Structure formats: C-alpha cells, structure tokens
Amino acid sequence: MEKLFWKLANSTRLFIQYGCVVHCFFQYVGDLVLCSGPSMEPTIFTDDIIITEHITPRFQQIQKGDIVIAKCPHNPLQNICKRVKGLPGDKVYMDYGRSEIVPIGHIWLEGDNSSNSTDSRNYGAVPQGLIKSRVLLRVYPFSNVKTF
C-alpha cells in the first residue's frame, strides 16, 4: 500500500510540473488559436487554427503587415485578429479622404475583409498593451498550411 501511495505521489508531482511548463509556454512563448469571424477573409477563415508567438509583442517589435491577436478595446473578454496597418506616428488614411495620426503607444488595426470588419476605423487606434501575440502559421486546415 505504501508503494502505491509513493507512485501516486510521484505521478501527481510530475503531472503538476509538466502542467506548469505547458502553462508557462502557452502564456509567454506561443499558443494555438481557433479563429472565428469573417474580418480576416480571405487570409484567415472561421475555424482556421493558427500558431501565434508572444515574444514579439512583449518587446514591441510588431511591424506593419503583421497579423496580431489583441484584446478587443470594447470587450476585454473577446480577442480580435487583425492586420497592423499603422505604427505609432504613422498617418493612416480612412474612407472619404479622412486621415489620422497613430498616437504614441498605439497601433492601427484593420481586417483584411474591409467591408465586413470592425476595427480601428470604428474604434480608433488600439493601445499596444492590448496586443497578445503575432500570428506565425496557419496549421489547419492541413490542405492550406500557410506562413505569415
């Protein structure tokens, strides 16, 4: 009985250790994201699975053209997937000839499907602190694997 207890204790310890490593990896290095919504079509579709990394946003190395995952400025329980169209200090052009300067500490995000995307054109520049990760690779569907 004592051997069984120690085996169970060791198994539990290993489970907790590996769980902590996996949690830290997904929190600080990268993760898998299931996408939903039409705003990034035709680049990313609903039910596509993408791999993201968390290191670039932490060091504020996001560049124009990157696709990022961010907290929604209006609903912090929701994540958004958008393309970076403007960095701090950039002048971005919107509909009807309007333009705006992206403030320091913010970025301008737009969906690739401009006719069906709620993005910075609606809610303005997004604070850089809301950027969670940068998209690296679409891994599902398997027939359509693509790097970004």
Residue 121: what pLDDT? 92
Give 56-107 pLDDT, tens digit per residue.
Answer: 999 989 999 999 999 999 998 999 999 999 999 999 998 788 899 999 999 9
Could you say which of 7, 36, 71, 82 is catalytic?
Answer: 82
| Cα–Cα dist 132/148, whole Å | 17
Could you say which of 11, 39, 85, 133 is catalytic?
Answer: 39
Answer yes or no: 39 catalytic: yes
Residues in the chain: 148
CATH class of the domain comprising 30-135: mainly beta
**pLDDT at position 144 over 80:** no
Answer yes or no: 82 catalytic: yes
In percent, how much of the chain has pLDDT > 90?
A: 76
Residue 95: what pLDDT? 79
| Non-local CB neighbours of 141 within 8 Å, separated by 6+ positions | 48
Beta-bridge partner residues of 55: none
- Cα separation values, 93 from 85, 100, 110, 118, Å: 10, 7, 12, 16
